[in-house]
Amino acid sequence: MTSLGVLLVVLAVLVANMPAVVQQWRADRSGSIKTLELLIAYLVYCALGVALIILIVPEGGTGEGHDDKALELTGVAFGWIMYGGLTLMRVVPRYREPPRWLMRFGIADVVVLVLIFGCLAAYFWA
């Protein structure tokens, strides 16, 4: 799919969800405001993850001749975003409860943290 196609799909999804967003804004304004605040906090969290990746990438890059470490860095970035999403899911206002095992520190947290720190260890080890 071309870049224009992806843009059109994203815009179509946004337009299709607009009536529900407006209805939610009218029905639960304080919950909508809290959701927006948490979304901004999540975007800042993701930006910190990008900054972390940029800081640990060597000057010469990770390509040929520089020990290809792109897979490890991708694992760190993916784990970082997933852990932020897991934390966000626990604090954002909701109308249906997710499974109880996701709402407490448990196996989901351990898996994501092992991914993050395992990839960081693999990146710095070799």
Q: Give me the tens of pLDDT residue by residue for the chain, a chain 126 residues long.
A: 688 999 999 999 999 999 988 998 999 899 899 999 999 999 999 999 999 998 988 776 666 655 677 888 899 999 999 999 999 999 998 888 889 888 999 999 999 999 999 999 998 886
Domain assignment present for residue 19? The answer is no
Domain assignment present for residue 3? The answer is no
Domain assignment present for residue 94? The answer is yes
Name, in order, each residue with C-beta under 8 angstroms of 80's C-beta and a sequence gap of 6 or more. Answer: 46, 49, 52, 116
For the entire predicted model, the pTM comes to 0.78
Total domains, the chain: 1
Domain assignment present for residue 33? The answer is yes
Domain assignment present for residue 35? The answer is yes
Could you tell me the residue range of the domain that residue 50 belongs to? 29-125
Question: Helix axis angle, 3-27 relative to 29-56, nearest 10°?
Answer: 140
Domain assignment present for residue 5? The answer is no
Name, in order, each residue with C-beta under 8 angstroms of 83's C-beta and a sequence gap of 6 or more. Answer: 109, 112, 113, 116
The 3-state secondary structure of 83-120 reads HHHHHHHHHCCCCCCCCHHHHCCCHHHHHHHHHHHHHH
Domain assignment present for residue 95? The answer is yes
